[in-house]
Homo-oligomer: A and B are copies of this chain.
């Protein structure tokens, strides 16, 4: 393996000149630069990451801590990760993957051990044991999601309150006055991750504004769970003409359940679904949907953490606005 000294010798310059040529931190003459580039190429030189980290106290690595729970929507999770990796590479950083269950220990191992010089942490809960750890760190971090007691920790997320409102606004504009919400599994609410509650908050607020009557039910990822939720909603709101689904797994099951109950979408029941566009488009009835811009959130998180790394100020909380894509599952309610 060639070292910077080999390159310097080969190019007839000092090691520092090679270093500066690489970093661009000081001007290099055209001729020197050419010789250096050549030498690098012919020797197949790559800087040793560890040596570099030691000398510069920068690892050029950002740690990404992901939940690998089975009540999460995995494709969305991977979109976050993709956004993070892509943005990180754009900032010339690599990504170290940590799992949620490594907890605060994992975070401090990676941070204190100088493996990573910045952190992106997903799915932080209220009262999360990792928050105190994150606070004591000398390294910048950004949370994806809105932690209850995040204090001045920086975070990015979709504006789930606005998403809940947007769903109801759309339905209300179409004339719906009785709307049910098929929610996340109970475990998600009891974890108090926040996003699910925030969605309900927006949903409820908008309903009141529109004078619509609403009901809310959590929902498991099973046909039985979906059927139970739908029945409960109908029992509570017999005149229900629209459903909002905040549950990516349940959406296809919901469509099937409604069809087996003889309710047509959107003729009898309109549906607005929180899900990725490709899921919405693949459904038997393409769903009007609000997507979680997961890749964008991931890359924003990295941009923000890089800003902090470079001493620039980053906003405390960034909420991305939701966008609704109108498809075939929503229509005006038919007169009764």
A284–B114 alpha-carbon span in the complex (Å): 50
A82 within 8 A of B: yes
Contact call A97/B85, Cβ cutoff below 8 A:
yes
A15 CB, min distance to chain B CBs, angstroms: 15
Interface string of A198-241 (1 = CB under 8 A from B): 00000000000000000000000111000000000000000000
A261 within 8 A of B: no
Partner of A48, one of B77, B97, B113: B113
A30 within 8 A of B: no
What are the residues of chain B within 8 A of A283 when measuring CB–CB?
223
A75–B72 alpha-carbon span in the complex (Å): 10
A313 within 8 A of B: no
Interface string of A30-59 (1 = CB under 8 A from B): 000000000000001011111111100001
A52–B53 alpha-carbon span in the complex (Å): 10
What are the residues of chain B within 8 A of A49 when measuring CB–CB?
50, 53, 59, 113-115
Interface string of A118-156 (1 = CB under 8 A from B): 000000000000000000001000000000000000000
What are the residues of chain B within 8 A of A91 when measuring CB–CB?
none
A282–B70 alpha-carbon span in the complex (Å): 13
Interface string of A55-72 (1 = CB under 8 A from B): 000010100100010100
Residues A67-104 near B (CB distance < 8 A): 68, 70, 74-75, 77-78, 81-82, 85-86, 89, 94-99, 102
Knowing A77-B78, A94-B115, say if A54 contacts B46 (CB, 8 Å). Answer: no
A79–B85 alpha-carbon span in the complex (Å): 19
Partner of A74, one of B78, B108, B221: B78
Contact call B48/A51, Cβ cutoff below 8 A:
no
Residues A255-273 near B (CB distance < 8 A): 256
Knowing A1-B112, A47-B113, say if A221 contacts B282 (CB, 8 Å). Answer: yes
A152 CB, min distance to chain B CBs, angstroms: 23
Residues on A facing B (Cβ under 8 Å): 1, 44, 46-54, 59, 61, 64, 68, 70, 74-75, 77-78, 81-82, 85-86, 89, 94-99, 102, 108-110, 112-115, 138, 221-223, 252, 256, 278, 282-284
The 9 closest A-B pairs by CB, nearest first: A50-B53, A50-B54, A46-B112, A50-B50, A46-B113, A97-B97, A49-B115, A74-B75, A95-B97
